[in-house]
Amino acid sequence: MRTLIGAVAATLLLSTAAFAGQTEGLIKKIDKDALTLTLDDGKSYKLNA
């Protein structure tokens, strides 16, 4: 049972990484407390811990 749960969890983590995209821009602000990165065009991204 633990093996099955581990395999499902690994599959979910890998499938999430596959949806990662790319973007370009200049970094305007980094908020270390909120773990966010804001680009000069106003787009904001949540970073992993």
Q: Is the pTM of this model over 0.75?
A: no
Confidence at residue 16, expressed as pLDDT on a 0 to 100 scale: 47
Which among 41, 44, 37 has a CA at the least distance from the CA of 25?
41
Contact 28, 39 (CB under 8 A): yes
Residues 1-45: tens digit of each pLDDT: 677 777 766 665 554 444 567 888 899 999 999 999 999 999 998
